[in-house]
Amino acid sequence: MTDYEDITYEVDGPAAVVTINRPARYNAFRGKTVEELIKAFRSAWADDAVQAIILTGAGEKAFCTGGDVKQRAETGDYGPTESGMFEIGNLHKLIRDVPKPVIAAVNGIAVGGGHVLHVLCDLTIASETAKFGQAGPRVGSFDAGFGSAFLARVVGEKRAREIWYLCRQYDAVTAERWGLVNWVVPADRLLDEAKAVAAEIAEKSPTTLRFLKQSFNADTDHQAGLSNLAMSALDLFTHSPEGLEGAAAFAEKRKPDFSKYVNA
């Protein structure tokens, strides 16, 4: 069994439960977190006993708040990794490619890169206390790949642009009405509900589910090219003065001043 620092991984019946375990940072991910998530998803892929994967966050406050902006403000990056790379793009593709349904159990705030993770999952079950939204333009970051293009397929162009341009937070009932989540349950029933759905999935033919997932993905697989382009652009942007201003403002708990970059 692999030892993890930033996540926990357990197999409960037909479900692998992957939990981002950084509650002190609202389950924001650093490079190490992403690397461990990739290992966990690959373990679930290889385990014939696992027929569905549940992704959730530790604690009651947050599912995931995206990249650790404090880490980026402190070191200029998302911290060291075994590979030497920040592999968030590979995690996105893995969530789509793993031939088993992935269920997001959103237990609190899902914003920024955390919002992207739940959108990429096959199903989303939300706690009544869950909040959804984007924060990238507020902190000097963006996801111009799956995080925007695929989101538009899920909720439509107008809603996707609203989510990104305004950086508001939306409650679980609104998210369900928009088709951003499948259904909403009381907070104390969230994980039980996700496991019940995993058990229901386990009653189905795994081969047919694999083909169905690949068929659904085929319509949007071209967005992987956009994701590669977007990640390259983001890497450059986060090291620019404008990107650094967003991270610094977040760490210093002040409003960022992007005024000088309007016509840049």
195 assigned to a ligand binding site? no
Question: Strand 52-57 to strand 7-12: parallel, antiparallel, or no bridges (unpaired)?
Answer: unpaired
53 assigned to a ligand binding site? no
110 assigned to a ligand binding site? yes
Residue 21 vs residues 5, 56, 62, 81, 194: alpha-carbon distances, Å: 8, 9, 10, 17, 18
248 assigned to a ligand binding site? no
109 assigned to a ligand binding site? yes
173 assigned to a ligand binding site? no
Q: Are 88 and 68 in contact (CB under 8 A)?
A: no
CA dist., res. 117 & res. 11, Å (int) = 20
The residues, ordered by sequence, that sit 6+ positions from 10 with a Cβ below 8 Å of its Cβ are 16, 17
DSSP 187: G
**The residue to which tokens 């439509």 are assigned:** 156
Torsion of CA 116, 117, 120, 121, to 10 degrees: -150
CA dist., res. 40 & res. 20, Å (int) = 11
Question: C-alpha angle 69/75/77, rounded to 5°?
Answer: 65
Residue 9 vs residues 144, 172, 250: alpha-carbon distances, Å: 30, 26, 31
Question: Strand 15-20 to strand 7-12: parallel, antiparallel, or no bridges (unpaired)?
Answer: antiparallel
78 assigned to a ligand binding site? yes
Could you tell me how many helices (H) and strands (E) the chain has, helices first? Answer: 12, 10
205 assigned to a ligand binding site? no
> Annotated binding site for substrate: which residue ranges?
78, 109-113, 141, 253
Residue ranges at the known binding site: 78, 109-113, 141, 253
